[in-house]
Structure 1
Amino acid sequence: MAIGFDFGTSNCSVAQIINNQVHAIPLTQDELYIPSTICAPSREYISEYIYRCFNISPSDIAGENLLRRAISVNKDDGLEIHPDEVFFGQEALDLYLDDPKHVYYVKSPKSFLGIIGLKETQLAFFEDLVCAMMANIKQKAENHLKTEITETVIGRPVNFHGRKGEESNRQALNILRKAASRAGFKQIEFQFEPVAAGLDFEATLTTDKHVLVVDIGGGTTDCSMIQMGPRWHGKFERSDTLLGHTGRRTGGNDLDIFITFRKFMPEFGFGSQQLSGLPVPIPQFWNCIAINDVEAQRQFYTAENLRQIKQLYKNAEHPEKLNRLIHVHQETLGHGLVREAEKAKIALAGKNTHSATLNIGDESLIIPLTPEAITTAIEEPVNKIKRLIKEVLTQSGVKPDVIYVTGGSARSPILREAIKSVLPETEIVSGNYFGSVTAGLARWADISFRQ
């Protein structure tokens, strides 16, 4: 049996085709989407967990070394592996927000897969993270369908997070393929996420059109110019219909991070000075909230960096602000701050004011926000998205008949206005913001595995 699998930066979902119709598969009760998060008692717990609880062995020597180390560390820490001590999705997020200091939490591992220069054991650990999440979703889907799932088409962005182009893409796809194979999929294919979203839209067309698909996900934005319509519907070979294709690592997470940086971090000392007159270094305020950057997070949460922050506190013109940054380090609050920015972004899509509440130690900071403030904060990533659209227009050499927008972040009125500013005369339509990629992947799985 075949499914489409959207292993997303923000959420994961799966779907199948029955009698030419897309059927999303519930993963938790009646929920079709599970947040791309995992939480465990420790980092090492996860590697031994998938071995003990899913009976999944490592894929190579690096994985075997990682597992041996994990078993040793867990034994020394007195940790026994139990299936009910690793959490996924909303449960993982809730547990982390309740006690961030005493759990190991990862959001959006897909954002890390293209980072070049990592050690083999680090790559093996990323593979374990993805494998655990995929195995959990596969098991839930099989429990619902009461049958084994062996074939899948997994969505991929045009470009993964990473600075090495195709080298980053190859590494990320290799991790995803190995993790999916270990999770139990026998046949694995990949499809570009904007193409998949376009395939779902194509099913609604009655005439052939040039369609610009703009997929703004949690971690990336991808744009594709595709010929679509009844002439190509259901065909496997259609490489000639893809006229232009661009993508970069700018998505909803980046918008949330920029809101946090521009609107929240001044309360933690961003923009302030030391007694010497020198500014407090900017990386201290960026690294703590760069939740899609493994190296930035690692640098911020070291003991050495905590000593540097405390020294800055002693020499700051506004030490009370730097004291809040110390709390961010000691209580691992970076994810929580970005989460508040995301909530503010969503709230301001439907009203004119919103007050964000930041709980730092015994203090509650109230920060009033407006749509205008959000627009200013995210100007840089929004301009990157506009440049992507212009790039795909240049590549394809055609003007679209219609723009199809999808992805959770595409609901933002700010982003829709940005798209409209590039192509003011072109109709913008949308379908299921969260489900169009999954639906298209299911359609492609049905086509691919029937060949």
Structure 2
Amino acid sequence: MICGFDYGTSNCAMGVPDHNGVRLLAVDGDKNFMPSALYSMARELICEQVGKQLPEGAARDEFVTSRRGQLQLAQRARREHDIEADETVMFVGQQAFGHYFADPEFGYFVKSPKSFLGASGLRPEFVHFFEDIVTAMMQTIKQRAERSLGQSLTRTVIGRPVNFQGSNSEQSNRQALAILTTAARRAGYTDVEFQYEPIAAGLSFEQQLTENRTVLVVDIGGGTSDCAMVRMGPDHRGKAERSADFLGHTGERVGGNDLDIQLAGRQLMPLFGMTAPLKSGKPMPTKTFLDAVSTNDVSALTRFSSLETGLYLEQLQRDCLQPEVIGRLIRLRNNKQNQQLVKFAEEAKIALSDADSTRVTLDFVEKGLGTDILRSELEASIERPLTRITELMSEAVQQAGTRPDLIFVTGGSARSPIIREAVARTLGDVQLLDGDHFGSVVSGLTEWARQIYR
């Protein structure tokens, strides 16, 4: 059976066509959306879990040969951690967050792995590692969806951003699509196609149009923001060839995760010493503090967890007039709680969609630690990424050579009144409509699957 698969930066979802349009499948308990996160009791066990799920045959033999070293390390990890052969060792979605929050020092946790797929300069072993992470997640999601549906899923359309990375975009796109294709085939899909996420969101929105319109689709996802100018409506709907209807599209690796990171850096890292005075009178260097919260940057995370950073922070604590706040950062690093910190920033961003202020409580770091954040402080914190998002909108309109009749906004971060106001300011007096902020892309991918897999 065919399906649309939104392997998103923040959430994953899967849909299948039915007589009412699109049916979303349960992929995380009884929920239709699964947070994009994975937790394994040991990093090496991810590869082992992928191999166990592959059916016997040439593909499995090839995988085992290519991962021989990692599979040997997995056996060693089982012995060192006294993990039984039948013990569950890997979790995705809400379960992954649950295990990470319960014991962040133990195991391996990754959030939003899609953010890393287009990273420049990845060595082959890192490409293989991300293949295994994505495959492990896709295998689990597919199995859950098939149980919910009661049928096998074999042909899929997967969403993709316009660009996975801002720099070296073509090379990054090829690398990311190759990883996703390999993972999808290892998960059991025989046919794999891709569709731009903003176009998919537009195809979903198009189902409700009663007259033809030129629509600017603005999809603010977790990892990327993508815009597309599309002619749509009754005269266009259902056509298998839509290239003439797509008038312009732009996209870049700036999205909801960047807003969370900026908010964490500007409003939470001062609690960990980022603005504390040094004995020398010089300003506090901020790079390490920003590395701590840059959870979508492989290089930053590697630097923050390195031995050199550990030694640097010990010296920084001696040099600081408030050594106790640097001590908090050292504990955060030692306890591997920086992902948890950014998660709290994300929750604050969401709360500020409906309130003028919110309280962030960080008892997991230190009892009584916390701060109040105002919506105006969120606006100041995210000014830089938000400016880039509005520039992408203007560039898509410029490519099209015409103004839109409507603006359709989707994606989780698009709920924020700050973002909606910025969208309205950019294009002036154009009607702005909302869709399903989380389901538009997967619904559109499913509609496209229905059309191309006839």
State whether residues 51 and 63 of structure 2, in contact with CA within 8 Å, keep that contact through their aligned partners in structure 1: no
SS at 1:267's partner residue?
helix
Whole-angstrom distance in 2 between the partners of 1:55 and 1:82: 18
CA deviation string 1:191-211 (max 9, x = no partner): 000000000111111111110
**Using a 3 Å threshold, how does the CA distance of structure 1 residues 43 and 318 change in structure 2: closer, same or farther?**
same
Contact 1:194 1:213 in 2 (8 A): yes
AA of the residue aligned to 2:7 = F
The one-letter amino acid paired with 2:345 is A
* 1:100 lines up with 2:143 in the alignment: no
Residue 412 in 1 paired to residue 416 in 2? yes
Q: Which amino acid aligns with 1:198?
A: G
Q: Does 1:240 align with 2:244?
A: yes
What is the distance in 2 between the residues matched to 1:182 and 1:313?
48
Aligned sequence identity (%): 44
Moved more, 125-134 or 384-393: 384-393
Task: Please list, as runs of the form range in 1=range in 2, the aligned pairs for 1:225-304 lying within 5 A after superposition.
Answer: 225-304=229-308
> Are residues 63 and 401 of structure 1, via their aligned partners in 2, closer, same or farther at CA, if it must alter by over 3 Å?
farther
Matches of 1:229 and 1:93 in 2, distance apart?
Answer: 41
Within 5 A, what are the aligned runs for 1:118-267? 118-161=122-165, 163-267=167-271
Deviations 1:158-177 (A, max 9, x none): 01136311100000000000
Paired AA for residue 36 in structure 2: S
State the TM-score, normalized to the length of structure 2: 0.96
Change (3 A) 1:36 1:425: same
How far the C-alpha of 1:83 sits from its partner, in A, is 5.9
- Aligned-pair Cα RMSD in Å: 1.6
1:28 match: 28
Q: If the length of structure 1 is used for normalisation, what is the TM-score?
A: 0.96
Residue 140 of structure 2 aligns to a residue in which SS? helix
In the other structure, the counterpart of 1:40 is 40
Of 294-303 and 361-370, deviating more is 361-370
Equivalent position amino acid for 1:176 in 2: L
Is 2:335 the partner of 1:326?
no
Of 59-68 and 86-95, more deviation after overlay is shown by 59-68
CA displacement at 1:395 relative to structure 2: 1.0
Q: CA deviation at 1:364?
A: 2.6
Query: Where does residue 49 of structure 1 map in the other structure?
Result: 49
Q: How far apart in 1 are the matches of 2:104 and 2:182?
A: 30
Q: Does 1:317 align with 2:321?
A: yes
* Residue aligning to 1:430: 434
Q: CA deviation at 1:79?
A: 3.5
Amino acid at match of 1:3: C
CA distance change for structure 1 residues 42 and 101 in 2, over 3 Å: closer, same or farther? same
Paired positions, count: 450
Can you give the 5+ residue segments of structure 2 that lack an aligned partner in the other structure? none
Structure-2 change in CA distance of 1:110 and 1:82 (3 Å): farther
* d(CA) in 2 for partners of 1:392, 1:106: 33
Specify the code of the residue in structure 1 equivalent to 2:169: G
Find out whether 1:6 has 2:6 as its counterpart: yes
1-structure distance, mates of 2:35, 2:182: 22
CA 1:423–1:292 in 2, change beyond 3 Å: closer, same or farther? same
The aligned residue for residue 18 of structure 2 is 18
Specify which of 71, 74, 77 is matched with residue 70 of structure 1.
Answer: 74
